């Protein structure tokens, strides 16, 4: 069941962005090729087991994030919108519930700005996740930078 990207207000959003030293095509590939995505997705110390990655509107992304100390975190997501190489959006069906919209803007031929938005139905839900997500999103971006370096070498 494909849904639309929800409309939100700033108090229902967590927004992270960074400029990466890689082409938009390469950055998009790091997000859409599960062989690369599994290497960097998640905060520092986390690893992933992908069970399903069907990159199309209505397709599912089911995976387990393995915590560095303990815990396995089931994730069930449904892709909403894919616009190569500019946008990926998905909806989480596992808690906490929110949507993600990642956009990829070409800054120059070898620099790409990612804007990563987490969209919530309520300000209360957003506040609960924001307490830890902002720092964790930065760790995720750090891991992406390392994967992009590997992909260019």
| Token pair recorded at residue 147 | 């994967």
Would you write out the chain's pLDDT as a tens digit for each of its 153 residues? 456 888 999 999 999 999 999 999 999 999 999 999 999 999 999 999 999 999 999 999 999 999 998 899 999 999 999 999 999 999 999 999 999 999 999 999 899 999 999 999 999 999 999 999 999 999 999 999 999 999 998
**Integer Cα distance of 35 and 68 in angstroms:** 20
79 in a structural domain: no
62 in a structural domain: no
User: What tens digit of pLDDT does each residue of 83-106 get?
Assistant: 999 999 999 999 999 999 999 999
- Give the chain's domain count: 1
71 in a structural domain: no
Q: Looking at residue 143, which CATH number applies to its domain?
A: 3.30.530.20
Strand partners, 118: 14, 100
Contacts by 69-77, CB closer than 8 A, 24 or more apart: 69/45
Q: How many CB atoms lie within 10 A of CB 110?
A: 13
Cα-flanking dihedrals φ and ψ of residue 131, to 5°? -55, -30
70 in a structural domain: no
Note down the domain range covering 96.
Answer: 10-44+84-152
Angle CA(18)–CA(22)–CA(24) in degrees, nearest 5? Answer: 85
């Amino acid at each position: 069941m494909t849904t639309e990207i929800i409309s939100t207000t700033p108090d229902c959003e967590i927004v992270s962005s960074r400029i990466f030293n890689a082409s938009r095509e390469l950055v998009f590939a790091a997000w859409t090729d599960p062989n690369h995505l599994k290497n960097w997705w998640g905060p520092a110390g986390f690893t992933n087991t992908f069970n399903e990655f069907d990159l199309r509107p209505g397709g599912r992304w089911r995976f387990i994030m393995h915590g560095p100390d303990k815990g396995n975190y089931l994730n069930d997501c449904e892709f909403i919108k894919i616009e190569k190489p500019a946008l990926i959006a998905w909806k989480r069906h596992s808690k906490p519930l929110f949507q993600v919209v990642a956009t990829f803007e070409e800054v120059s031929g070898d620099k790409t700005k990612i804007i990563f938005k987490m969209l919530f139905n309520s300000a209360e839900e957003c506040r609960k996740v924001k307490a830890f997500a902002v720092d964790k999103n930065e760790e995720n971006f750090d891991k992406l930078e390392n994967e992009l370096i590997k992909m260019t070498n």
